Structure 1
Amino acid sequence: MREFKGYLMILAAAILWGCSATLAKLLLNQNVSTILIVQTRVTFSALILLVFYLLFKPHILRVGIHDLWRFALLGVLGVAGSNFTYYFAIRESTVATAITLQYTAPLFVMANTTFLGEEKFSTIKLAAAIVSLVGCFLAVGAYDTSVLRLSTAGLISGIGSMISFSFFTIYTRHVLSRHNVWTTTFYALVFASLFWLVVNPPWSIVGENPVGEVWKGLVVLAIISILVPHSLYFSGMRYVVASRAIITSTLEPVVAMVSAAIFLAEFLNPIRVAGAALVIGAIALLQVQKEEGTIQNFHAVRESDAS
């Protein structure tokens, strides 16, 4: 039952990530820069959590100084790193190319966790990872060679995106073995925000001079693309092993595709719909076989801290 609860949380996170892509597209259409969108998502989320915790749960902010490096790794390499390399890959190639490269991550995660003995190898999981990758490939239209473009920089950044996304999923479980979801979410976002302040300092943000409606859109985007889904994903990771979690998260581009079709009138052809069906099928395939061995879950880790 707890594992099912974890799947629901991760699916909810993927749905929000996918829906948020439509709002991000609307902001981009208003000439808001990509870096401002990426940066404000984590910064506003961290600020919202900071205010809430200071007012209602200040004890959640207390961590040992010797633990900060773990949050820094998760925030910089996992949260900021996956975003930075993903959007850089888009700039140097195409959206379809970047997504295809990033969603090879389930295979990388499975190989890593199996090699380290954290999970047992399963042909069902391998099949689900391959089917989800093929599904993503079709859903984003990567079968059309005209939308695929690959440069050396695009390939390197795309692989970097895959590695960062994999690290984000694998390392989250290690951090959650020591800290509760809320502390982990907050400090990961804080260090991701600090990274973006170095890349894009405040005076650069002011220089863009966004109008009031844009700021409102950025706050909403922060909530539905980072604050809520990251909290859900981290929560789900307490009950679901890394490989199953990341395969489940491949629902994101499918939701983004459907959301764009509904709200942006983007065209859906049968091949893309078939790709979406494959992704959903891959997630369903995971339910055929339960995880072998003992699944370490972290529902009891420092839960008293969050009360």
Structure 2
Amino acid sequence: MATMTHDAPVAVPPRAAAGITVALFSALSFALSGALASPMLDHGWSAGAVVLVRIGLGALVVLPFGVAALRGRWRLLRRNLPLVVLYGLLAVAGAQFCYFSAVQHLEVGPALLIEYTAPAAVVLWMWLRHGQRPGRLTLAGAAVAAVGLLLVLDVLAGFGLHAGGVAWALAAMIGAAAYFVISADDTTGLPPITLAAGGLVVGALALGALALVGLLPMRAVRTSVTYADVEVAWWVPLVALGLVTAAVAYVAGIAAARLLGSRLASFVALSEVVAGVLWAWVLLGELPGPLQAVGGLLVLAGVVGVKLGEKKSATEVQQIAL
């Protein structure tokens, strides 16, 4: 059966090691966005303005490389244009817009928790759509990672849920799940950097359209911001957001998904939450508590469990084939 994504467990250890390394690098890059944006939001920037600059700058940086990677094969882009548009609308613009809409009604912790149920959605999608039933070890790893995520997000203190906020967060989860599923599809022939460029361009245009009709408030303040007791110009974090947390993060994320498959890549991406806590500690002085540290270890243990489950599934498939 032909599958939409390259989600077969990786049999060659070097490929798996490279995929996990790239996935962790992508997660570290994505995770930096929260710590960079937080002081800007505190100084009066609107979330919409920060997100639009981040995605727009990322698109400008990646686009020339994405075009060069095509090597004149414009037919590939025309053939996959619907997929690129879907990626830009769901995985880029949709996930960003819905998440920031959710945090208007929910605390950051609950909103992140709901959005990061995306790996479970990916597992369910691969099971229902492609018959890739997860094994017990994979499910156990997912459960351990979920518990660790609860601790990292420090939601044990309790929080109230706003129905509208939950709906927006679930929509962000769909966007995140689409990111992993579409990124892992290596049957299109599109180079990863071309898919990233196309998605960022579509996402930037979509966010710009939302801003024009007033659905995405735009407010910018040109005052300096402080990170780790160091004052920097207002444009410095914007450049870092565009280059690192958008351009580099999306390209690395797509490459990792193609090396690992959407299911495993989505679980490795849970490390983004742990990295977000660490970045907040380094740049903002927000020291994680003991439970958050334990949660981080559980997330990593869960990812290892999922990976071992993938290897076991691959062995079983090979035995059946023989």
Q: TM-score, length-normalised on structure 2?
A: 0.83
Shift of 1:219: 1.7
Any stretches of 5+ residues in structure 1 without a counterpart? Answer: 295-307
- Give the equivalent residue in structure 2 for 1:73: 86
Equivalent residues of 2:48, 2:217 under 8 A apart: no
44-53 or 71-80, which deviates more: 44-53
Find out whether 1:246 has 2:266 as its counterpart. yes
CA distance in 2, matches of 1:281, 1:206: 41
**1:278 aligned partner, one-letter code:** L
Superposed CA deviations along residues 165-207 of structure 1, whole A, max 9, x for unmatched, are 1111112223663311111111011100110110113999986
- Give the equivalent residue in structure 1 for 2:288: 268
Shift of 1:229: 1.2
- Give the equivalent residue in structure 1 for 2:320: none
CA distance in 2, matches of 1:64, 1:52: 14
Find out whether 1:220 has 2:240 as its counterpart. yes
CA distance in 2, matches of 1:76, 1:43: 14
272-281 or 262-271, which deviates more: 262-271
Instruction: Work out the percentage of aligned pairs sharing the same amino acid.
Output: 22
* Deviation >4 Å, runs of 4+: 51-54, 202-207
263-272 or 96-105, which deviates more: 263-272
Aligned-residue Cα RMSD (Å) equals 2.5
Equivalent residues of 2:46, 2:219 under 8 A apart: no
**2:268 aligned partner, one-letter code:** T
CA distance in 1, matches of 2:268, 2:314: 20
- Give the equivalent residue in structure 2 for 1:59: 71
CA distance in 1, matches of 2:210, 2:187: 28
Equivalent residues of 1:61, 1:183 under 8 A apart: no
- Give the equivalent residue in structure 2 for 1:278: 298
Any stretches of 5+ residues in structure 2 without a counterpart? Answer: 1-13, 225-232, 316-322
Shift of 1:114: 1.2
**1:269 aligned partner, one-letter code:** G
CA distance in 1, matches of 2:261, 2:77: 27
Shift of 1:288: 2.6
Shift of 1:208: 3.4
**Aligned match for 1:2, one of 7, 15, 24:** 15
Superposed CA deviations along residues 103-128 of structure 1, whole A, max 9, x for unmatched, are 11111110110112263421122122
CA distance in 2, matches of 1:175, 1:87: 30
**Aligned match for 2:36, one of 23, 43, 50:** 23
How many residues are aligned here? 291
**1:131 aligned partner, one-letter code:** V
CA distance in 1, matches of 2:193, 2:101: 29
Paired residues for 1:81-230 under 5 Å: 81-117=94-130, 119-145=132-158, 148-174=159-185, 177-201=188-212, 208=220, 210=222, 213-230=233-250
**2:267 aligned partner, one-letter code:** I
